A and B are shown apart, each in its own frame.
Chain A
Amino acid sequence: MTSLTSQPAGRSKARRASAQEGGAVRSGMTLAAYLFLSPYLALFIAFMLLPTLAAVGISFMRWDILGTPEFIGLDNYRQIFADPLFLTAIKNTFYFVFLTAIPMVVLGLALAMLLDQKLKGTAFVRTVVFLPYVVMVSTVGILWGWLFDKGTGLVNYYLTAIGIEPIAWLKDPHWSMPALAITTVWWTVNTNMIIFLAALQDISEELHDAATLDGAGPWQRFVYITLPLLRPAMALVTALTIINGWRVFGQAYVMTQGGPEASTFVIVQYIYLTAFQNFEMGPAAAAGVVLLLITLVFSLAQMKLMKAI
């Protein structure tokens, strides 16, 4: 086995030798590895892998809770794409992603840069911004549902104080989605902030000092040093923000129940309604597959884009 450390040229010879001499050791290792893996793999196969495959399968079947499943090809997909409510859900979810993606990334970075400075109090402010992370979605919905109330909510009170007419946030189809987006940014921007903070702390100070000596101003240092080095973090944050955006549900369910006039009715709520209130499993599974495809396309497009920049 020690011969494995030899030159690359000798590797195949070494491998052959170890296959003969160390075959028993290696198969022992393989057995041990799979023994350690087996409990997790059993759960993973039962509750992750098989359900994923089953979801795709069910999307091609007529499957009510009672009665025998029957293969019907693409009928479920035809049905949901002919359903105006599903098209509305796709449009609304896209609008939500559009409204949240840029603030979540830009604000996440801005907060990280603000709180990365060596100033007293940054640790406290970080804690305050991070606190919403541990608040559950029902509570977020209950709290912001009131903050956005037209008559008694704090948001309108302070907007009125600076001369803006009260807005019927959650009762007005034009404002309901922006209200959900604001709530979501408040609730989850901290995750992005932390990823950016970790990345910023990896950038060596000498790099900035050297650039300063060469006469680079703060803006130039940001554009030519910070941003390029943040690229991996930027890619991760953007991908997560977009994927999670497409998966939005709890806020809309608790704050607006999809309304008013279906203005906050999103894809996951369509799945919930179809599967667990109308008990049409086939179309619900098809909607789930569409959601998977959408997030995959966005992830791939985003990766391509990041490489191109």
Chain B
Amino acid sequence: MQDQRSNRAGKSFSGRALAYVLMAVVTALWGAPILWMLVTSIKPESEIYAYPPAWIPDAPTLDAYGALFQRFPMLTWFRNSAVVGILTTVLTLAVDALAAYPLARMQFPGRRVIMGVIFATFLLPYELLFVPLFLGLNSYGLVDSIFSLTVPASANAFGVFLLTQFFQAVPRELEDAAIMDGCSRFGFFWRILLPLTKPGLATVAIFTFVASWNNFFWPLIATNSDETRTLPVGLATLVGGAGMSMKQSVLMASAVVATLPTAIFFLALQRHFVRGIAATGIKG
């Protein structure tokens, strides 16, 4: 008995050691690129290509950030991304919550069909929509506008799906009692249902914002001036073609600036991200 126990303890010790070695390797592989991006962005020109590569700069400087903001309309791109992100999030949250309420809690003809059609779009490669969307918006002169970057994106089914699940979890008795007391359907929705499902609303808000912030292909098509161009599209112009000669420190500075808002968002609200992905498996 004694032997067996010490044997098991020994095993679990070597098992634990192996786990820690693997965790260190994983941390290095996933963390190093991000760290390299940060380190390079504050290196002076003379150190960027130093051999062997240095993980700690000798003379850190913010020159690259200065050059980045001076040479490119970073502030405009940044502002556009923020405006588009916030508008998309507010609109999505409003229409998705309104739609999820009857889908989650009411019996009415057509409910199953509507849910089926909405959720089938999870399987749709959105790239298919971009040609007709572009042609449609173009015929109304709406290409290269904030409208084209915000309103179409709000048709996404992710929020409806997630909120339907959250709304279903609220007990039926609560709604019956509220209606008994003379509360209207909308009154119940606004004063009881929404406050009770704040975590779900937060999850949808965060995902919508991050997806909008990082959205690349549609803004690439739907914008053609710096007036409306968002960060991902603007940054893509830094590499390839004219940008080829760009200093790595400036490129990495652009990477840091673009990542900072969502990284802060993520570190502060990590559990919402995890819940959202775990519940739906949908990226963005």
Contact = CB atoms under 8 A, between A and B. Distances in A.
A101 to B, nearest CB: 15
A97 B49 CA distance: 34
Given A55-B128, A130-B266, A276-B134, A194 B277 contact: yes
Contact of A47 (B53, B133, B213, B283): B133
Contacts of B240: 254, 257
Contacts, number: 273
Contact of A39 (B98, B133, B270): B98
A137 to B, nearest CB: 5
Interface of A: 26, 29-30, 32-34, 36-37, 39-41, 43-44, 46-52, 54-55, 58, 63, 65, 111, 114-115, 117, 119, 121-122, 124-125, 127-139, 141-147, 152, 154, 157, 186, 188, 191, 194-195, 197-198, 236-237, 240, 243-244, 246-247, 249-250, 253-254, 257, 268, 271-272, 275-276, 281, 284-285, 288-289, 291-292, 295-296, 299
B101 to A, nearest CB: 5
Contacts of A135: 34, 214, 255, 258-259, 262-263
Instruction: Place the interface of chain B in its size category.
Output: 35 or more
Contacts of A115: 23
Contacts of A141: 236, 239
Contacts of A55: 128-129, 131-132
A292 B125 contact: yes
A271 to B, nearest CB: 6
B263 to A, nearest CB: 6
Interface residues of A, dominant DSSP: helix
24 contacts: A30-B109, A36-B102, A40-B160, A43-B152, A43-B154, A50-B132, A51-B132, A55-B129, A58-B131, A125-B27, A132-B30, A132-B33, A134-B262, A135-B263, A139-B258, A143-B252, A154-B32, A157-B51, A191-B283, A240-B281, A244-B283, A254-B240, A272-B221, A275-B130
Given A37-B114, A136-B258, A191-B283, A143 B129 contact: no
A72 B279 CA distance: 44
Contacts of B262: 134-136
A138 B283 contact: no
B278 A194 contact: yes
A18 B146 CA distance: 49
Contacts of B7: none
B112 interface: no
Contacts of A49: 117
Interface in B250-284: 251-252, 254-255, 258-259, 262-263, 265-267, 270, 273-274, 277-278, 281-283
Given A117-B19, A291-B125, A65 B138 contact: yes
A130 B270 contact: yes
A142 B127 CA distance: 23
B33 A36 contact: no
Given A117-B19, A146-B251, A299-B123, A29 B108 contact: yes
